[in-house]
Amino acid sequence: MASASKRSKLGEDPAVSNFREYLRFKTVEPNPDYTGANAFLKRMGDELGLPVRFIEVHPGKIVVVITWEGTHPHLKSIILNSHIDVVPVFPEHWDCDPFEAKKMANGDIYARGSQDMKCVGIQYIEAIRRLIRDGKRMMRTIHMTFVPDEEIGGNLGMGKFTQTAEFRDLNVGFGLDEGLANPTEKFSFYHGERAVWWVEVTCVGQPGHGSQFIQDTAAAKLQKVLTAFLNYRDQEEARAKKSGKLGDVNTPNLTYVSGGVAKNVVPSNLTLLFDLRVSPDTTPEDMVKKLDELVAMGGSGVSYKLLRKDISYTTPLGDDNTWWKTFEKACEKEKMDLHIEIFPAGTDSKYLRALGIPCFGFSPMNNTPILLHDHNEYLNEDIFLRGISIYETIITDIANVPDA
C-alpha cells in the first residue's frame, strides 16, 4: 500500500475521497440531516450496480439497504451494519471545522464521525467495490445496512427495523457492527456489550427552614448513598485497571441530581440518577442485590427504582461457533492480533443479538487513539485504507461459509 506522501503525488485514493465526502454530511443528533447522506449512499449503490432500498421504519427514520445477492441465496445472509448519525460537536474545541473532513499533511482526516462510524460504512462499500471489480462472487447474500438513530439509543432505527417484515425477509444469519479504535498494534474485537441500567434513587427526609439544624434530612441520606455508590465505583475501577478490560466490570456514574423548592427551605425529597453499565459477568440478580445493599446505606426513607433495565446479550466464542472460527482465521490471514473484549457502551448489535443472530463488533483501527464523541476526532487515511483490505478478507471468508 502506498504511503500518504506517495499518494499525494498520484492523487487521493477515490475511497478516501468518498470517505471525506460522507463525513461532510451533517447528520448530527438531535436533528440530523439525512437527506444528503442517503442520496450519497444511493449513488454508491448505483456505482456498484447493486439495488438500493429505502425503508422508513418511523417517520423521518430511513434505513438504507444495499444488497449484493449471493450465488446461494437460500443460505442465511450476512448483514454489514453501520449508523449514519453522529454526536454533537463543540466547534470551539476543534482545530478545524468538524465537518470539513480536513486532511492533514500526515494523512490524518479530522471530522465528526471519522471513527464513529462513517469510516466503517465506507470501508464496507469499498471492500465490496474491489471484490466486484475483481469478478468475485459470494455464496451468501450480503446486505449493507445504514441506519439512523443509533447515537440516541437506536430504538427508532435498528430497533424498529428488526421488527419489520422487510428485516425478516433479509433472512440474516450473521452480523458485523461497530467496534472501537485501539491505540496499540492490536485490533479491538467485541462479542457482546454491557447492559444499560438507569437507577433513580429517592431520598426522603425531614424538611424545615434553612436557618435550622434539621435532623434526618434528605441531604444527609443522599450523602450516605452517594458515598456508597462512589466507593463501589472505585472498587470497579480498580478491577478494570487490573484486567485492562472495561467491559468486564460495572460502572455506576452519577448523571443527575434534583430536588429543592426554595433557597431557604430544606427539601423533603432529593433524587439521584445513576447511569449503570452492567457487565455480562454480573447476573441481573447479583446486580439487584448490590443495588439493594448500596441504597440501604442511606437508611430509612431511601428507595430506588430502575428506569431502564436492559439485558446483556453476547455471542459465545468457541470452536463450535463457525462464524467466530472463520472470522478468527480471516484475521490470521491479515496478520492481525485481536484484543477480545465486551463493548463498554451500547451499539445496534444488541438488537441483532436479542434475536439470536450472532454479531461481532469490529472497526479496523489500530495504532489510533480512541476519539469517538471527543473533540478533534480523526482517522489516518493509511489506517482507513488498510481497513478496506481487512474487510475484503473478512467479507470473503464470512460470506462463503457453506453452513453454520
Q: Which long-range contacts (CB under 8 A, 24 or more apart) does 100-104 make?
A: 100/24, 101/19, 101/20, 101/21, 101/23, 101/24, 103/12, 103/16, 103/20, 103/381, 104/378
φ, ψ (nearest 5 deg) of residue 106: -90, 5
Question: Rounded to whole angstroms, what are the CA distances from 2 to 123, 185, 191, 381, 383?
Answer: 17, 19, 33, 11, 12
| Closest listed residue to residue 378, CA positions, set 387, 369, 386 | 369
Q: At what angle do helices 118-133 and 34-48 cross, to 10 degrees?
A: 20
Strand runs (DSSP E) across 94-217, as ranges?
A: 102-103, 108-110, 142-147, 172-177, 187-193, 195-204, 208-209
Question: Grid coordinates 426513607 are at which residue?
Answer: 301
Catalytic residues: 85, 150
